[in-house]
Structure 1
Amino acid sequence: MKSVLVAVAALAALSLPAHAAGFDNIVLSATKDGGTPQSSFPVDTPVIYVSADLVDIAPTSKITFSWVSVDSHGAAPENYTIDKVDLDVGANNEADSQLTKPTAGWPEGTYRVDLAIDGTVAESVPFSIP
Structure 2
Amino acid sequence: MPAQAAGFDNIVVSATKGGEPQSEFPADTPVVYLSADLVDIPATSTITFSWISIDSHGVAPANYTIDKVDLHVGENTEADSQLSKPTAGWPVGTYRVDLSIDGTVADSAPFSIR
- The answer to whether TM tops 0.5 is yes
RCO higher in structure (CA 8 A, sep ≥6): 2
Distance in 1 between residues matched to 2:60 and 2:11, nearest whole Å: 26
Q: Please tell me whether residue 20 in structure 1 is matched to residue 13 in structure 2.
A: no
Counterpart residue type for residue 23 of structure 1? F
Deviations 1:54-80 (A, max 9, x none): 000000000000000000000000000
Cα shift at 1:119: 0.3
Please give the secondary structure, in 2, of the residue aligned with 1:26: strand
What residue number does 1:30 align with?
Answer: 15
Aligned with 1:61 (options 45, 62, 65): 45
Percent of aligned positions that are identical: 79
Q: Please tell me whether residue 42 in structure 1 is matched to residue 31 in structure 2.
A: no
Aligned with 1:122 (options 102, 106, 111): 106
Name whichever structure is richer in strand by fraction: 2
Please give the secondary structure, in 1, of the residue aligned with 2:25: coil
Which runs of no fewer than 5 residues in structure 1 stay unpaired? Answer: 1-15
Distance in 1 between residues matched to 2:3 and 2:55, nearest whole Å: 36
Which aligned segments of 4 or more residues in structure 1 are displaced greater than 3 angstroms? none
Name whichever structure is richer in helix by fraction: 1
Please give the secondary structure, in 2, of the residue aligned with 1:102: coil
How many equivalent pairs are there?
114
What residue number does 1:105 align with?
Answer: 89
Distance in 2 between residues matched to 1:111 and 1:38, nearest whole Å: 13
Counterpart residue type for residue 44 of structure 2? T
Distance in 1 between residues matched to 2:77 and 2:20, nearest whole Å: 21
Higher radius of gyration, 1 or 2 = 1
Cα shift at 1:35: 1.0
Cα shift at 1:17: 3.6
TM-score normalised by the chain length of structure 2: 0.98
Deviations 1:26-48 (A, max 9, x none): 0000101x211100000000000
What residue number does 2:55 align with?
Answer: 71
